[in-house]
Structure 1
Amino acid sequence: MTTPDRSFRGATAVVGAANTAFHKRGTATSSSLQLTLRAILDAAADAGLDAHDIDGFVSYANDDNEGLAVGAALGVKEVRWSSMVWGGGGGGVAAAVNAAAAAVVAGQAETVCVYRGISEADAGRQSYSKGHIGPLYGAHGVFAPAQICALRTQRMIEVDGVPREALGALVAAAYHHAQNNPEAVAYGKPLDPEVYDDARIISEPLRLYDCSRENDAAGAVIVTSAARARGLRQEPAYVLSGVQGSSSSWTESVENESPYSSAGFHPALVARLWEGAGIKPGEVDVTQVYENFSGPAVASLIDVGLVPPGAEAGRVMRFENLIAPDGGLPLNTAGGNIAEGFVHGFGLIVEAVRQIRGTSPNPVPGAAVSLLLGGPMAPLVSATVFGAGSTL
């Protein structure tokens, strides 16, 4: 094996991060563009930057607002980079950060904003999934992401032997963390275990609380060079490694995949993630995992080596082990898509950065390595490892 190129590692950092308020879907009085602009202005202020100096834009999940239009609305001096990550909903959440970092490393831009905004009034519902649920599914009555993920989750439980309780532990941890996050939609609404167990089935084995929320909101983070980041307002969250990819079988034959219960993080992609970051899975301090549904999130954790496969997953996926500050695998520490709010996982980026800064509503003491996982059981998956200055 050749020695990995380390030029990407620590060359860039997130210096500004912001979410707007999470509104119940369809209730925001602002358009998706207006929400996006507010998030970008807040992220720039967070970094201590003039928003007019942003010269690159990246989004994902078929965002309706092109980078050129966002730049024009902000009145930036020049747009040097504008790109969209293909691949469905949350699969591009980490890939968008990686694309911004790559643009900066390559010298194509200096200050790149990653953003995502949704307002049902003008963006509609599930625009991101158009083209990903094709005739193969429709002919058999499968029309929703929950159904596809439920099929794979059921296999993970029945054939792989992952305990059903692992899903419940992940959901319980998300709701627990949300109780310390006043910005979370589930703040002040703790989830009783009996309520979780008795909730209606959406698509077996997924029940109501296994499913992510949908919200009108927006988020933004700003990526720049490491050298510049060190002179700005916030502690930088350095990008140590970033990967994205898909197995070759994501086509009309997708339901014949041999690693059927995998989240899609195939071994070669996972190897690149850890090699690029220069760390092992056990060195991760805190994780933000995209949970469109609880089952795929558990599969992601297994794929990347944070949780053992099969029945042994239950040994790690326990509520006490998943919560900050003392759990061995603290995850979704602001509430995640399930309990904080859902803008195709953008809040997970913001929380991954907050953990490095120590400003999370549920901080993990001394967190120096923060992992972001995006898009399980989607056409594209992606991951980013953030690190504190001490990791460089």
Structure 2
Amino acid sequence: MGMGGLNSTAIAGVGYTDYSRNSGRSVERLALEAIHAAAADAGIAVSEIDGLVTYGLCDTSYTGVLATGLGLKELNYFADYSAGGNVACAAVIQAAMAVATGQAKCVVAYRALNGASGIRYGGSGWSELMSTTSLLSDAEPQFLDTCGITMPAQHYAMLARRHMAKYGTTNEDLAAVAMACREHAAKNPRAQMRKPMNLADYEASPWIAEPFRLLDCCLQSDGACAVLVTSWDRAKDLRQRPVRILSGAVGGSPRARGVMWTNFAGEHAECFATELADGLFQRAGVTRGDMDFAQLYDCFTYSVLAQLEDFGFCKKGESGAFFREGRAGLQGQLPINTGGGLLSEAYIHGLNCVVEAVDQLRGNAGDRQVSDAELGLVTAGGAAHSGSALILGAQ
């Protein structure tokens, strides 16, 4: 095939397992199920897949294992990221770049994990696990651990406190994010958490790391998602309405070399979006006002507030009101996390947010469908200084 940009590629299929707290099967089995489902969704044989991309922190099933398990005829492109949720969109972008440059014809980005029954992020031994992955430099844990920051909730709590001190953000603002995600999840058959939540429920949940309560924190989930990318021209002839990849961005601030403590360096409670957003929209040839929805990486409620501001949908300090006033609802100004997000659908390390965006742009999201959805933003990276993002379109 000829050379092209990202917008010469499309998502032609998505697949996923059930989302649970105890899958009863291996991470490899989960990945195989999701990839088989994505191929079936696109209407192609699994043997036509010739590229694989994945990511994870000690708990994924690597591309070489999956290529064998899938019985692929050839593997023309592969990539295994040793990274977290900040590359959920980057994995899809990597797949699209491989297709656009002719490295492969059909590339699947996938994520599989037993995040509840297996390696629990932020659970016992988290800091020790991270320090052995080479993801953190040897210097970081000794500084973080000695001041009591041993898990992501504690780290992001510090970032949220800075936003509160600078802009007057409150726990009611955080609660509004959690409640909006739960309201959307109630309409999503895939979601782990569909029970209605009100402010009293939120305030009754225990503190995890102030200002975060339990309901400010994403779920711990077992499951897998897969996103099948091929050329736009080919996708048009396959089973589903294709979703075009209009643009993507991966990167962040120069101070994002580390994972945790370098995020404290800024003065203005900003995240990676300040570095990526303008170019992301410009390359897609669209504006922020054109977006019909946004799936914002919600590892914690505060992450959504930071991204809403830094992607330019509202001014600094105004994101809490955006949620409290209902502007992020399914009928609102910008529906956000329409499937429930990581807070209420599942924590499949962000790739489930891409699946939800595809559902919306195909127009098959059922009771949670955003009317006439044609353009959507998906992000990965929370409130950190590194991340990735996609703009997807229905045509």
Q: TM-score w.r.t. structure 2 length?
A: 0.90
Aligned runs of 1:33-44 on 2, under 5 Å? 33-44=28-39
- In 2, distance between residues paired with 1:154 and 1:217? 32
Mapped pair 1:271 → 2:256: no
Aligned runs of 1:1-392 on 2, under 5 Å? 7-24=4-21, 27-62=22-57, 64-87=60-83, 89-119=84-114, 124-126=119-121, 129=130, 130=133, 131-132=135-136, 134-187=141-194, 189-251=195-257, 254=262, 256-259=264-267, 261-267=269-275, 269-310=276-317, 312-318=318-324, 320-324=326-330, 326-361=331-366, 362-378=368-384, 380-389=386-395
- In 2, distance between residues paired with 1:59 and 1:379? 21
- In 2, distance between residues paired with 1:367 and 1:274? 17
- In 2, distance between residues paired with 1:197 and 1:122? 27
Q: Deviations over 1:81-126 (max 9, x none)?
A: 1112344x21011111111111101100110001000125995233
Structure 1 position 190, deviation (Å): 0.9
Could you tell me whether the CA contact under 8 Å between 2:159 and 2:264 is conserved in 1?
no
Tell me the amino acid that sits aligned with residue 351 of structure 1: E
Could you tell me whether the CA contact under 8 Å between 1:118 and 1:217 is conserved in 2?
yes
Structure 1 position 315, deviation (Å): 3.6
- In 2, distance between residues paired with 1:86 and 1:247? 19
Could you tell me whether the CA contact under 8 Å between 2:263 and 2:385 is conserved in 1?
no
Describe the shift of the 1:9–1:81 C-alpha distance in structure 2 as closer, same or farther (beyond 3 A). closer
Could you tell me whether the CA contact under 8 Å between 1:245 and 1:382 is conserved in 2?
yes
Q: Deviations over 1:18-48 (max 9, x none)?
A: 2210111xx2211000011000001110010
Q: Deviations over 1:243-279 (max 9, x none)?
A: 0113111356615512452222233x21210111111
Tell me the amino acid that sits aligned with residue 257 of structure 1: A
- In 2, distance between residues paired with 1:256 and 1:41? 42
Q: Deviations over 1:47-72 (max 9, x none)?
A: 10101110001112235311121111
Q: Deviations over 1:322-366 (max 9, x none)?
A: 121x11110111111111111111211100111100111411111
In structure 1, stretches of 5+ residues that fail to align are 1-5
- In 2, distance between residues paired with 1:68 and 1:41? 16
| SS in structure 2 of the partner of residue 152 of structure 1 | helix
- In 2, distance between residues paired with 1:244 and 1:165? 32
- In 2, distance between residues paired with 1:244 and 1:160? 28
- In 1, distance between residues paired with 2:380 and 2:225? 15
Q: Which residue of 2 aligns with 1:3?
A: none
Describe the shift of the 1:103–1:10 C-alpha distance in structure 2 as closer, same or farther (beyond 3 A). same
| SS in structure 2 of the partner of residue 347 of structure 1 | helix
- In 2, distance between residues paired with 1:217 and 1:329? 28
| SS in structure 1 of the partner of residue 107 of structure 2 | strand
